Chains A and B, each alone.
Chain A
Amino acid sequence: MVRARGLVVLTVAIMVAVACGNTGGGGGGGSKGTIKIGSDFPVCTTGGQSTSNGVKFAVDQKNAAGGVEGFNIAYQSFDDCRQGSYNADAGVANVRQMLDDSAFMGMIGPYNSAVAKAEIPIAAPKNFVMISPANTNPCLTKDIASCSTAYHPQDLRAGNPNNYWRVVTTDDYQGPAMADYMYKQANIKTVAILDDSTVFGVGISGAFEDEFKKLGGTVVKHQEYKKDQQGTQFQSLLQSMHTASALYVGGTDDQNICIPRAQMKQIGWTAPFGGGDGIETTDCIDQASGNETGILATSAGADATQVPGAKDTIAKFRQAFTGANDFGGYTMQAYDAANILMTAIGNAIKANGGSMPTRKQVRDAMAKITTFQGVIGNYGFDQNGDTTLKIVSIYEVKTGLSDTDVKASTGVCGKKLANACFVWKTQFDFAKSS
């Protein structure tokens, strides 16, 4: 019985701790009050964490500069990880929590398209603005035939005005960009495709496959794996694909998508290796260790290092966040997304005569933003909420770079090999061609 009492005490202690935690908080204080913005990322992954850093950096900068129209901005990062990976259910719970607190005027996120699919229907009726820095699945906004699911994006919003915007262009540009590059510029006629069975991986590799076939190329084999089933054992999968003259991977580094690159060497397969923005990361270079050179990656958006002004922001960010994994492929996108949201909130405050706006006013203000000068480029939004900035950049890993070259690169370098970095190669502007 003594033991049982111990347990009760423990439980009560935990509950008290939580209760205290909930009532505490709410530090800081602007002159007029506090407006909250949230984010919903899988913070347990490096990708989610570095993206969250971008939002935090933007909010800190804004508050240091006096906040938005006299209001202080409080940022709260929600985590949609459950037991190690993103979870749509957790994302929904986070959005519900934000909706309950009337101080929340909008959110940045989510990170994963599958989560967005679950969250939009809940946020839309409440006019809750969502700006995703990383969702690239076209089916969230566009009514196109290749979305194999049966619904239309307007159904997701259930007749409510659009509440979802994104600052990255979609897979149906990223995949084709790499297909064009491989087929036309690198003169590759046969490829094999490997995807990681996530919404992102399946989507982007499907878009690549369609475009590559349309150009006249041959897809030798399209294999799929799941991280938790495969471990790091890819040789047999690669064996079935090794007759192709290049490998395209659809997936992200947190699903181990770059380990096959290292193992290509183990099975004696030398061929180009390309993928989407999910592999333009530090972890990817580390996973490919021993065979890093020549990894090709696309990235949605213009290269920050190619945009004047961005370098400055990145340098400041690096001063504030010094960890090796603090900067990632979507950090600057998240930074821009947060600034866009805060601009919309500012416009809404102005429209409301300088006092606290409603969510609907913020949504309406957001819908009116047609152009925004961000770090990555000059954004515009179409009526679907998609960005009109349709630049896709292509990067390549170069090894043995000098220190100045490393600084001039994207800054995405290996942890182990600090002089192996992604270097900008070329870019495709789909806004001009279409």
Chain B
Amino acid sequence: MRSGASALTRFRSIALGGMSLADYGFYILCATAVVLLLAEAVRDTTNFAQTLVFGLTQGAIFALIALGYTMVYGIIELINFAHGDVFTLSAYIGTTILGLFTVTEGSFTALNLVALVIIFPVVMLIMGGINVAIERIAYRPLRSAPRLAPLITAIGMSFFLEGVMFLWKGPATVHFPNILPQWTTTVGGVFFGLKDIFVIITAAILVALLAFFINRTRLGKAMRATAQDRDAAQLMGIDINRTIAATFFIGALLAGAGGVIYGLYYNTVYYQLGFRTGLIAFTAAVFGGIGNIPGAAIGGLIIGLTAAFSDSYIGGKWTTVVIFGILIGVLVFRPTGLLGMRVPEK
């Protein structure tokens, strides 16, 4: 492996004319983006700050989904296309559970608070269970199959979950009760509400908890070990199947929370939402350096901000081009993502 790494490095530096050139290009790209944004910030500060708020909330949600992608990819190298649909399904389950409460929309009551406190753990646990079941049914039997076979079952599971949601609530958009406090304020012309603060803070707490879990607990260590070298981890006595199932479980916890947060914030979901959102979140995971937890969080934020600024300044029809253009640009200069480690593939 070591000799392979050095061969690759040598090969890459020949193809590119030295590693520093790539970094040089990357920094120029970043600097240009920052300068352009700063110019806009000076020209119309209010508009800039307002867009920043939207971008942060959007990015926080992408980050939560991206974490699930990056964890699963890190451990079994699977692009789990069904993850975005797990995210949507959690919003569907969330709205159904909220239907059991007589919550008041548009204002904040004590019952709303109770519902809010209950819904997060319940939905997260349900989704965790579902995702573990998906892993057991669709991915575990294919662990020694050709690499693309689980990718196809992931796509199949994605359609299946979309089908479940379609059958359950039909093709139309589904309303998610608006039960957060409606308090809003304007600071220096920037309009924001408790909702925005809620999304950003909840997401930040979840990411911090995840980081703690991965770095400090035994199971977290087992995950990192399995991601690095499955065989060696097995030899060290780690139960691989259990560790992988735990990864799926935790990924789904985050997606579940993401789905509920999305529902609480936007109040509308539909059955196809997850496919695309998942795709963008996966892009964010790659952007940050796939398999890298802080990378995924930062990638999610950057993609969310990019989408918001592009929507607002360039125009909605260019947003896709901008996001993926930046992605390709970054990967050309930094082939393993923003924070990706420079290690060769196994």
Residue positions of A touching B, CB distance < 8 A: 44-46, 84, 197, 223-226, 228-233, 235-237, 239-240, 253-254, 256, 259, 262-263, 266-268, 283, 286-287, 289-290, 325, 415-416
Contact = CB atoms under 8 A, between A and B. Distances in A.
Contact of B268 (A236, A240, A287): A287
B316 A237 contact: yes
Contacts of B193: 266
A231 B55 CA distance: 14
A236 B308 contact: yes
B175 interface: yes
Interface in B299-346: 307-309, 311-313, 315-317, 319-320
Interface string B104-145: 011000000000000000000000000000000000000000
Contacts of A46: 170-172
A240 B170 contact: no
Contacts, number: 105
B51 interface: yes
A289 B267 contact: yes
Interface stretch (B209-217, B230-238, B272-280): B272-280
Interface size class of B (residues with CB under 8 A): 35 or more
Nearest to B270: A256
A44 B317 contact: no
B27 interface: no
B266 A232 contact: yes
A229 B320 CA distance: 7
Nearest to B55: A236
Interface of B: 47, 50-51, 54-55, 58, 105-106, 162, 170-173, 175, 178, 184, 186, 191, 193, 195, 266-270, 272-273, 275-277, 307-309, 311-313, 315-317, 319-320
A231 B269 CA distance: 8
A283 B173 contact: yes
Given A223-B316, A232-B269, A263-B266, 17 more contacts: A46-B170, A231-B276, A232-B266, A236-B54, A236-B307, A236-B309, A237-B316, A239-B50, A240-B311, A240-B313, A256-B268, A266-B193, A267-B50, A267-B54, A289-B267, A290-B106, A416-B175
17 contacts: A84-B171, A197-B317, A226-B317, A228-B275, A236-B51, A236-B55, A236-B309, A239-B51, A240-B312, A254-B171, A259-B268, A263-B266, A267-B54, A283-B172, A290-B267, A325-B170, A325-B172
A230 B319 CA distance: 9
A255 B222 CA distance: 45
Contact of B272 (A197, A228, A237): A228
A235 B316 CA distance: 11
